[in-house]
Amino acid sequence: MRNYVAVLALIVFVLTFLGSEASASSRSHCQKDLKKCKEEKKVVIGPSKDAFKKNLPQDFCAIFRKGGPRAGELRQANGTQILTGVCSNTPQGEIPKVENMPSTLILYPENGQKVKRNKPFDVKVKTEKLELGFFSDPAITYNTFPQALNKKGLIQGHQHITIQFLGKDKYSLEFPDATVFDFFKGLNDPSKNGILSVSVDKGLPKKGIYRACTIISSFSHQSVVLPKAQRGASDDCVRFEVV
């Protein structure tokens, strides 16, 4: 009887071991071959309503790779700043509670402020409900990390300042070209009080109206992901004049 029990225990152990090995092997194959992941229903290839309903991981960008229905239309994101259009599989990550959405004010220059041409000045910004100082290397980790929250539930990220020339007419409604700017700087320092500043060392060369705007980003430079359309804008812009 004891021998029978021992043999039965051995059989159960072997079957359990083989099952775990098969499962580990399956996961390994899944990581190497996304078609097998699809078969196991662990990763969805391309767009899928089921992925949305069941919150399954998606290889959305598979449709743009060789053999996909839209092969070659977009390149695969790889951490560099590709300017010709990319597809990224990076998850959106951790999204804060609605009461923890960040907000920003530009303290200087003020709206309507006059600044002298070619004279250095500082742009001063205050940001609330954002843990500043989280700034990945934009040359190799651009859009590669999901958004993360700290222990207080605040987004970990950083600020930017961009300044664009709008023309000489303060009432002009001409849209500035998004690819053209007179000043741009990422503010990657931490701040306990949320205030950061950056120097426009050489001032601005042309007389006229300029627009200064902030851009809040998560750690790897994607725009912050929020739980709803923010009623109080997370970023701020002011118009000022160079004289």
Query: What per-residue confidence (pLDDT) applies to 164?
Result: 96
Q: What is the pLDDT of residues 224-241, one digit of tens each?
A: 999 887 665 689 999 999
Say yes or no: 17 and 129 in one domain.
no
Measured CA distances, 215 to 159, 192, 236 (Å): 6, 19, 8
Listed residue (149, 132, 173) closest to 96, CA to CA: 149
Please check whether residue 140 is in contact with residue 80, taking contact to mean a CB–CB distance below 8 angstroms: yes
Q: Which domain covers residue 176, as residue numbers?
A: 98-242
Say yes or no: 74 and 133 in one domain.
no
Say yes or no: 22 and 118 in one domain.
no
Does residue 217 have a pLDDT over 50? yes
Listed residue (57, 219, 202) closest to 149, CA to CA: 219
Query: What per-residue confidence (pLDDT) applies to 42?
Result: 66
Say yes or no: 110 and 77 in one domain.
no
Say yes or no: 133 and 223 in one domain.
yes
Say yes or no: 32 and 106 in one domain.
no
Please check whether residue 155 is in contact with residue 218, taking contact to mean a CB–CB distance below 8 angstroms: yes
Listed residue (161, 227, 169) closest to 195, CA to CA: 161
What 3-state DSSP class applies to 200? strand
Say yes or no: 71 and 147 in one domain.
no
- The total number of structural domains in the chain stands at 2
For the chain, counts of helices (H) and of strands (E): 3, 14
Query: What per-residue confidence (pLDDT) applies to 229?
Result: 74
In this prediction the pTM is 0.76
Of the listed ranges 8-17, 83-92, 175-184, the least confidently predicted one is 8-17
CATH of the domain at 142: 2.60.40.2550
83 found inside a domain: yes
182-191 residues labelled b (16+ CB within 10 A) or e (exposed): bbeebbbeeb
Query: What per-residue confidence (pLDDT) applies to 13?
Result: 39
93 found inside a domain: no
Q: HSE-up of 230 (CA within 13 Å, CB side)?
A: 17
What 3-state DSSP class applies to 196? strand
196 found inside a domain: yes
